[in-house]
Structure 1
Amino acid sequence: MASVRSADDINTHLENSIQLLMEPILKSVNDFSIFSDSPIGHTRINIYAKKIAFPNSKFIWIDRDLEKWVKSVENWELSSPTVYPKAKKAWQDREKTANHRRAEYRKERSLAESFHRDFPGDILFMKLDKGWQPLCSFFSAPIPPEPFPVSNKFNKNL
């Protein structure tokens, strides 16, 4: 007869499994305190798994217009063939790929909202046009005198 395991036993097993799976990444990031997407990828590793691996972590969801985000993803993938070798073929059917990316975004956004309900102080939903205030507030840091930086805008002339 199979033994019945408690929810705590299952949670401990899951946490241990996640720690074991994340071990190679954890070793490579020990000397860092901030990540921006890579190597932890916003959609590559579940946010709850990241929280287990990095219990003191905080997350920032950059709130963007969905269609502008899809266009940005398309531009990024097509301009990075060594990183995304299948992008050129995928984006030939733009509507299909764009719909797939929209579904990914909505799924991840929903997961981030769920995470916010569970860990309200550990995720910031930020609109970049709001400047320093939300970010500094989130980290209890003073607002710098410099204007909020805007970079990595897609160059349409490339």
Structure 2
Amino acid sequence: MSVIEPTALSASARWIDKIPAEDTAPQEMKVLCLGLSRTATMCLVGLLCSVSLAMWAALKILGYNTYHFKEIGGCPQNVSERHLWCWREALIAKLYNSGKRYDAAEFRTLLRRYNAVTDAPCVNFSNELLATYPEAKVILTNRDPEKWLDSIFRTYHRVLENKGFRVAAVFDPALNALSELFYLVLHDWSGGDWRSRDKLREGYTKHYAHIREIVPNDNLLEWEPKDGWEPLCKFLGRPVPNQPFPYANKGNDVSDRLLLGGKIRLVKWVIGKIFWPAAGVAVGIGAWWLYAHVDL
């Protein structure tokens, strides 16, 4: 995959500035889960656990409305507000110094309907989120670095290296933005060498050391799925749910669904552009459903 050449962005052309204001006050951010993707970030929202859906799952059960990667394509309002393009824009500004960098105002706009966050691309802006929401509790989901690397290569890398997905991305703007976002996330974690296990491992280690250094111990919970409900609920001041902590989801399932979604969107493009424009709508809805149900 070729390296992305960032497009120069002017302040007046930013996607984030096109999101209309809301009359209702934004939710107060309560929880920042700053563990990297594939470290149980999805367990902490509804309890499905691929170490990425874990955190998302648990927080959902505990009553939090949590922003996870799934929300980018799974929430119709976020789709209409082009959150996918906003996060891509934010990472390009951060990594390439192209355009105005996102600050507190931009993050409050993107996250205004949520009171907890987890997973990429939010964790790529850990410093910015800590500055924007200084009162939020911080959770650091842990995983063995080698297992984390295996999971990243079974998901992010498998999608980025897949020729069929890359072909589909040429014809589909959303898939193109999605593949670029994946690349930018890995670029950030690896210092620009996203195919290197060594660089990704180094980025993982640095991220965790940095969070431990800057977040006070009394406001930080280090957690992994085997810890279950007790420490999580104690830290958040919530009663322990009367249900088991869920563990599910395999790494390959994630990339399988994404690649299938890419194929469907490519078929949709062919049908919509060549055979029957109206038929593409139904296929596109199906593709977005797949995308919304993908655990990253």
Of 227, 234, 244 in structure 2, the residue corresponding to residue 137 of structure 1 is 234
Correspondence 1:125 to 2:222: yes
Cα distance in 1 for residues equivalent to 2:229 and 2:135: 22
Correspondence 1:101 to 2:212: no
Of 235, 240, 245 in structure 2, the residue corresponding to residue 148 of structure 1 is 245
Number of aligned residue pairs: give it. 127
Displacement after TM superposition at 1:115 (Å):
2.3
Displacement after TM superposition at 1:37 (Å):
1.8
Cα distance in 1 for residues equivalent to 2:203 and 2:183: 19
- Give the gaps of 5 or more residues in structure 2: 1-101, 161-178, 187-194, 257-296
| Equivalent residue number for residue 45 of structure 1 | 125
1:1-158 equivalent positions in 2, closer than 5 A: 21-40=103-122, 42=123, 44-47=124-127, 49-81=128-160, 82=179, 83-84=181-182, 97-116=196-215, 119-155=216-252, 158=256
Cα distance in 2 for residues equivalent to 1:141 and 1:147: 15
Cα distance in 2 for residues equivalent to 1:57 and 1:151: 28
Cα distance in 1 for residues equivalent to 2:204 and 2:136: 22
User: Does structure 1 retain, via aligned residues, the 8 Å contact 2:139–2:223?
Assistant: yes
Corresponding residue SS for 1:23: helix
Q: Deviations over 1:64-86 (max 9, x none)?
A: 11100011111121244324359
- Give the gaps of 5 or more residues in structure 1: 1-19, 88-95
Structure showing the higher helix proportion among its residues: 2
Runs (4+) of structure 1 exceeding 6 A deviation are none
TM-score normalised per structure 1: 0.69
Identity over the aligned pairs, expressed in percent? Answer: 23
Corresponding residue SS for 1:142: coil
Corresponding residue SS for 1:60: strand
Cα distance in 1 for residues equivalent to 2:132 and 2:249: 29
Q: Deviations over 1:116-136 (max 9, x none)?
A: 4xx223221102111111111
User: Does structure 1 retain, via aligned residues, the 8 Å contact 2:154–2:252?
Assistant: no
User: Structure 1 79/131 Cα, relative in aligned 2: closer, same or farther at 3 Å?
Assistant: same
Instruction: Give the partner amino acid of 2:201.
Output: R
TM-score normalised per structure 2: 0.39
- How much is the aligned-residue C-alpha RMSD, in angstroms? 2.6
User: Does structure 1 retain, via aligned residues, the 8 Å contact 2:107–2:129?
Assistant: no
